[in-house]
């Protein structure tokens, strides 16, 4: 068992950008040598809050291994400037660039983007267009593969809540308030409030248009960790199709499945030691780490 030095305490601060401040939590690397810099890209909506503990645990573990990790609340999220209704996909990509700038200036070390769920799709989109910050690797936790599917699933929360409020039969959705109608209204220009979050049409349209199959990351190794409730459960056909497509496109893909509670959506805050261990192993230096 590798024993790592205890990392220094996390450093909270606000990062100034052209559009206000972003709340950041930096975990400095332990030990005399920094092995790399890591920018965490959080998931969407309440998944960000549910995942905070796991993100913090992984960040501390990586810091103990000698990596500097930056957790950054995107515009309109958490303690950063702006309202969620004002959030836009392009602003979030600018936030990633700002985070990469800060890490490069602070550590001057190989850079990893580590994203969870929609944060992973955002990281993929950023990496696909990024020419400013060479990436050493991408680490994807249960990435959203289709923005359109994700948006539809998110809107089902509003449909379900409306049915519960009306006492309606969930198997017989109202044609005017069903998921398809809400999706059309949102993409048609109507702001919608879903689960406490005001979703702007522009943000919805951006999410809707993102497809991981079109964002094959070619410039660096990609470590995709797909989670499953049971070890014997096979990877889904959708995951296998995307993985095959990426490999055919030339992506240096390392896909593994880990048994894990879906901590980003559980009622109570949950942890997954298996996911933490699998991720830390990626950074150990063998076979695909940066050390």
Domain limits, the chain: 11-145+211-283, 150-202
Helix (H, G, I), strand (E, B) or coil at 226: strand
pLDDT for the residue 178: 81
pLDDT for the residue 163: 63
Token pair 């990281």 is found at 123
Blockwise average pLDDT, block size 10, the chain, 291 residues: 72 97 97 94 96 97 97 98 97 98 95 98 95 93 97 83 58 62 91 92 97 95 95 92 98 96 93 96 64 39
CA 160/CA 197 separation, integer angstroms: 15
| Architecture (CATH level 2) of domain 11-145+211-283 | 3-Layer(aba) Sandwich (3.40)
For 12-55, the DSSP string reads EEEEEETTEEEEEEEEPPPSS---EEEEEE--STHHHHHTHHHH
The vertex-104 CA angle with 102 and 107, nearest 5°, equals 100
pTM of the complete model beyond 0.85: yes
């Amino acid at each position: 068992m590798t024993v790592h030095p205890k990392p220094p305490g996390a450093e909270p601060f606000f990062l100034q950008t052209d559009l206000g401040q972003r709340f950041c939590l930096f975990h400095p690397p332990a030990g005399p040598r920094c092995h790399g810099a890591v920018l965490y890209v959080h998931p969407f909506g309440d998944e960000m809050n549910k995942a905070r503990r796991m993100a913090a645990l992984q960040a501390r573990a990586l810091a103990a291994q000698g990596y500097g990790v930056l957790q950054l609340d995107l515009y309109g999220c958490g303690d950063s400037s702006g309202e969620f209704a004002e959030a836009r996909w392009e602003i979030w990509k600018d936030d990633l660039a700002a985070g990469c700038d800060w890490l490069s200036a602070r550590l001057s070390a190989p850079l990893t983007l580590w994203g969870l769920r929609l944060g992973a799709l955002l990281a993929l989109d950023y990496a696909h267009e990024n020419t400013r910050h060479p990436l050493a690797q991408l680490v994807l936790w249960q990435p959203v593969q289709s923005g359109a599917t994700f948006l539809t699933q998110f809107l089902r929360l509003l449909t379900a809540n409306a049915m519960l409020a009306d006492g309606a039969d969930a198997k017989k959705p109202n044609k005017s308030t069903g998921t398809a109608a809400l999706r059309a209204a949102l993409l048609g220009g109507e702001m919608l409030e879903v689960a406490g979050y005001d979703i702007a049409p522009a943000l919805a349209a951006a999410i809707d248009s993102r497809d991981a199959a079109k964002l094959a990351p070619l410039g660096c190794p990609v470590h995709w960790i797909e989670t499953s409730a049971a070890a014997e459960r096979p990877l889904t056909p959708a995951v296998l199709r995307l993985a095959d497509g990426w490999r055919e496109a030339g992506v240096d893909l390392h896909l593994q499945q880990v048994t894990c509670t879906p901590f980003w959506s559980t009622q109570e805050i949950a942890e997954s030691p298996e996911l933490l261990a699998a991720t830390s192993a990626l950074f150990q230096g063998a076979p695909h780490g940066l050390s």
